[in-house]
Amino acid sequence: MVEEDRLNLGELVVYHRGEFMPYSQATLGLLTHALQYGTGCFEGIRGFWNDEDEQLYVFEPVAHYKRLRRSGNLLLMDLPLSDEELTEVTLELCRRNGFRGDVYIRPLLFKSEEFFGVRLDDVGHELSIVAFPNSKYLDTDDGLKLCVSSWRRVDDNATPARAKITGSYVNIALAKSEARMNGFDDAVVFSDDGHVSEASAANLFVLRDGIATTPDLSQNLLEGVTRSVVGRYLRDELEIPVESRAIDRTELYSAEEILICGTGVGVAWVQSIDHRTIGTGTMGPVVKSLRTFYDDVTRARRTIPGLDARAVYPPAIPTVRDEREVPARSVAV
């Protein structure tokens, strides 16, 4: 399954150093602190195109910017604008690019000074936002073939997984490439105590005996925005109890359904783990229901209190037809 990791950047408009500009003009020096030492943090936000509305909806922008703010605080960085102001910048960025399809949005808060020295204090920082057309992080329709990685998730006392720190994604890259090079689509990474943490870049839910189980936050995982949406749907609409706790390896093998979820991947189903078929080896009813719900709510076909699908473009103004265009049979006499 091929990820869309080769981009045609062309003349994309980006937000950089407080201005909108062509991608080609948003340059950084080779000694930029974040490049040398991984001292940045980022978010992944998605925009979803609705053909019926001819509208692009950015999903949960404020929740993502709140998390970026928390990530930045860990690295002694602050955001220059409020969450709502950042949301408006994001919507304007999409408008300037004229997107008419699904979009991935990548805000990056990073240590921007150019000097030699490893530290976090007294280092200047900046914000950049890039948005580009993207419909899928993984092709998940046929189900994912996963493996348990030999790499362990970094610990909260080493590199906090609750923050999307650029440098910490080397840990994820090692696990993902190991999986791909061994013929799998993705990896399940365990915490240092041997319990399930998450997939390489997605949270995980295990469904068995009418209960949904997901790793608790002590297992060094990202507090996913989509994870929260999925948990709420399972509890409130499907009336499936959701337990957050430590999950053993063999619980994965004996699951009836396993799903992974995240901004990039959406809601995806797992066909097998370590060559062991999960359930029937086909998409189960819970994941089917979840995928339909997620597609509807992100494209604003369905409105849920507390979930924010923010329209990019102003509503279309209905065209007033000239009276001379009205067919003669419909004109009152």
pTM of the model: 0.90
Is a pLDDT exceeding 90 seen at residue 71? yes
The Cα 69–Cα 231 span in angstroms is: 23
> Residues 162, 222: contact at Cβ < 8 Å?
yes
The Cα 114–Cα 36 span in angstroms is: 9
Note every long-range contact of 289-295, with CB atoms under 8 Å and residues 24 or more positions apart, other chains counting.
Answer: 289/238, 290/230, 290/233, 290/234, 290/259, 291/266, 291/267, 293/233, 293/237, 294/226, 294/229, 294/230, 294/266, 294/267, 295/48, 295/266
Segment 278-301, tens digit of pLDDT = 999 999 999 999 999 999 999 999
> What per-residue confidence (pLDDT) applies to 9?
86
| Average pLDDT across the chain, whole number | 92
Paired sense of beta strands 266-273 and 144-152, if any: parallel
Is a pLDDT exceeding 70 seen at residue 13? yes
Is a pLDDT exceeding 50 seen at residue 33? yes
Locate 221 and state its tokens.
Answer: 């995982």
> What per-residue confidence (pLDDT) applies to 139?
66
> What per-residue confidence (pLDDT) applies to 276?
98
Is a pLDDT exceeding 60 seen at residue 325? no
Is a pLDDT exceeding 50 seen at residue 83? yes
> What per-residue confidence (pLDDT) applies to 5?
54
Segment 106-124, tens digit of pLDDT = 999 999 999 999 999 999 9
- Contacts of 30 by beta carbon, 8 Å cutoff, 6+ apart: 114
> What per-residue confidence (pLDDT) applies to 266?
95
